[in-house]
Amino acid sequence: MDINTLTAEMSLEESPRPPKSAKREGYLKWEDYFMGTALLAAKRSKDPNCQVGACIVNRENRIVGIGYNGMPNGCSDDTFPWDKNNKQFYVCHAEMNAILNRNIIDLKGCTLYVSRFPCNECAKMIIQSGITKVYYIYDKSPNKDVYIASKKMLEEAYVQFEVFKSEHKTIVIDLTPPLNINVS
């Protein structure tokens, strides 16, 4: 075997194996991480019918605000009503909480990840805060006036909105060792 043949055989054998210092494959993409964070926040909601989560991200991919739908501070989750006809008077929406919980002053150019399409009141806050992009998972009631008004305002104010797409369906996180995270 001459030296050229030997070299060819070695490189063939080694090609499928990444070098020891290579990064791991299968890590979460930024977008899945942000929407995953919004969905995890939604799990804090006490609303029996609809749990919504929101996550605001700046241009440097830093999370700058997280929120979920819930009663205002000081208004007990156990005494204020969660039924369909009455909760609307009290509940703070996920988007509103994420904006109010922000850890930076200026949200100009930020992106909002939210599990449901924003209502008209949240659209006003989104616009006024300077958020320029909204990713949402679904629009539950596109024909309701509040969502029609919301779309009208977002469009007029050049806030882009887009259905969130992912190559994954689920992210499963273990809370006990060996702490697997399964993305499928």
Ligand X SMILES: Nc1ccn([C@H]2C[C@H](O)[C@@H](COP(=O)(O)O)O2)c(=O)n1
Catalytic positions are 95
Restricted to residues 75-94, the positions that interact with ligand X (CB under 6 A) are 84, 87, 91, 93-94
Per DSSP, the residues of 72-138 read: PTTS-TTTS--STTTGGGTPBPHHHHHHHT-SSS--TT-EEEEEE---HHHHHHHHHHT--EEEEEE
Cβ distance to ligand X smaller for residue 58 or 120: 120
Assess contact for 142 and 118: CB atoms under 8 A: no
**In whole angstroms, what is the distance from residue 159 CA to residue 111 CA?**
10
Q: Pull the structure tokens for residue 124.
A: 């006003």
Shortest distance, position 69 Cβ to Zn ion, whole Å: 8
According to CB under 5 A, which one of 55, 99, 122, 159 is a site residue for Zn ion? 122
Q: State the burial class of residue 53 (Cβ atoms within 10 Å of its Cβ: 0-12, 13-18, 19+).
A: buried
Closest CB 42 distance from ligand X, rounded Å: 9
Q: Name which of Zn ion, ligand X, none residue 150 binds, using a CB cut-off of 5 to 8 Å depending on partner kind.
A: none
Please tell me whether residue 25 adopts helix, strand or coil conformation.
coil
Q: How far is the CB of 127 from ligand X (least distance, A)?
A: 15
Residues 8-47 that bind ligand X (CB under 6 A): 47
Binding stretches for ligand X (CB under 6 A): 47, 49-50, 52, 69, 84, 87, 91, 93-95, 116-119, 122, 140
Binding stretches for Zn ion (CB under 5 A): 93, 119, 122
